[in-house]
Amino acid sequence: MTQMTFARAINSGLRKSLENDPKVILMGEDIGTLGGVFRVTDGLQKDFGRHRVVDTPLAESGIVGTAVGLAYRGYRPVVEIQFDGFIYAAFDQIVCQVAKMHYRTQGAVKMPITIRVPFGGGIGSPEFHSESPEAYFTHTSGLRVVSVSNPQDAHTMIRQAIASDDPVLFFEPKRRYHDKGEVDESLDLSAALSLEKARVVTEGRDVTLVAYGPLVKTARDAATAAADEGVSVEVIDLRSLAPVDFATLEASVRKTGRLVITHEAGKSGGVGAELAASITERCFHHLEAAPVRVTGFDVPYPYSKLEMHHLPGLDRILDGVDRALGRPNSLSGLEG
């Protein structure tokens, strides 16, 4: 075990993948000489060369589209989209090409492409640098969508994503890049929790709180705070947003009877909507209350002075927990 930052843990995972498979190739803007704007790819071009860690022209569709061609040729490209808000320029290549090539060719052509996306807010950045576009991709069949919440998962799951024969959208919570944690780099991938599994990170009895990416830490803090008030919150790190590990969620909700979901992305049509609907379908008779969503608002990501109002924080999450439990809360007295 080694103590390292979140960013370093991904770097180490990328390095392992580059070492283990000569077909792994990294592509993106500023990822080579600079080591990425967040330094996630720091030192990799120096060690693996310009042909394996490729600084590309500034063209997101071009990056993903050429990755498709490389995958056609048998490569395993790992693409970095510099910021969440820049991914839309590559939308067609991701949705129409990467996601559908395997289906289109009846399995003849695999697209083992990993698309790394630093996402989410909380860092005081300008427009288009704090977005949470994951629901566009969870709605796209053919893609796997994951988000990581801690250094160990970041290290393990980037390696699993790269090893996956299906394309993976890999959402990295950029405000957690500097968080530190213990990472076992010698971990056996086949023994690790598989990529599509959720994880119960805090066990509890009264309410199930589901989070992913940057908000898992906030959710755990909320659970600690709730415990002080005698409320036992079970926190689940969703990890895989598509497909969702409903078995783990169902087991928890059957136990607690209450569900709170939190994410930074806007509420309507978001990942939380899918979780609330599916859990209601699957365990309606175990629910003691309607599922509660604590999310960003349905607004464009706001300017940084106001972003803390948009982002669900510990108190808003606890308010949601209170709603799920029927305790006094900010909406007490309102219907729905």
Partner 1 sequence: MSIVSRVTIIRGNGARAAGVHRDHESWQRRSDDVRRLRTTVITDETGRGGAAAGGPGNSAGSTSRTGGDLVQLITPAGERVSHPEFDPWVQDVSDEQLCSLYEDMVVIRRIDTEATALQRQGELALWPPLLGQEASQIGSARALREDDFVFPSYRDNGVAYCRGVDLTDIVRVWRGNAFAGWDPYTVNMATTQIVIGAQTLHATGYAMGIQNDGADSVAVAYFGDGATSEGDTNEAMVFAASFQAPVVFFCQNNHWAISEPVRLQSHVQLADRASGFGIPSMRVDGNDVLAVMAATRIALDRARRGSGPTFIEAVTYRMGPHTTADDPTRYRDANELEDWAAKDPIARLKSLLDRKGLFGTEFEAAVAAKADAVAKELRAGCINMPEPQPLDIFKHVYSTPNSWLDRQQDHYSRYLASFGDPAEAASEEGAR
Catalytic residues: 129
Q: Which of 46, 104, 180, 327 binds partner 1 (CB under 8 A)?
A: 104
* Shortest spacing between CB 103 and partner 1, in angstroms: 5
Backbone φ and ψ of 297, nearest 5°: -85, 170
Q: Is residue 103 at the binding interface for partner 1, with CB under 8 A as the rule?
A: yes
**Number of residues forming the site for partner 1 (CB under 8 A):** 46
With binding defined as CB under 8 A, does residue 75 bind partner 1? yes
Cα angle value 155/132/245 (rounded, 5°): 60
Q: Which residues ranging from 6 to 35 are in contact with partner 1 (CB under 8 A)?
A: 25
CA nearest neighbour of 211 among 168, 182, 176, 179: 176
Interface with partner 1 in residues 112-141 (CB under 8 A): 141
Residues 165-184, interacting with partner 1 (CB under 8 A) = 165-166
CA–CA–CA angle 70, 74, 77 (5° rounding): 50
Task: Kindly tell me which of 72 and 303 has the beta carbon lying closer to partner 1.
Answer: 72
d(CA 218, CA 290): 22
Residue 330 beta carbon to partner 1: minimum distance, rounded to whole angstroms: 34
In sign, the C-alpha dihedral spanning 294, 325, 207, 216 is positive
- Among residues 127, 134, 220, which one has the least CA distance to residue 172? 134
Indicate whether 70 belongs to the interface with partner 1 (CB under 8 A): yes
- Smallest distance, partner 1 to C-beta of residue 33, A: 8
Amino acid letter, 161: A
Q: Which is nearer to partner 1, 58 or 299 (CB)?
A: 58
Tokens 């948009």 belong to residue: 310
What distance in Å separates the CA atoms of residue 60 and residue 66, rounded to the nearest whole number?
Answer: 10
Binding site for partner 1 (CB under 8 A): 25, 51, 56-57, 59, 61-62, 64-75, 92-93, 96-97, 100, 102-110, 141-142, 144, 164-166, 196, 242-247
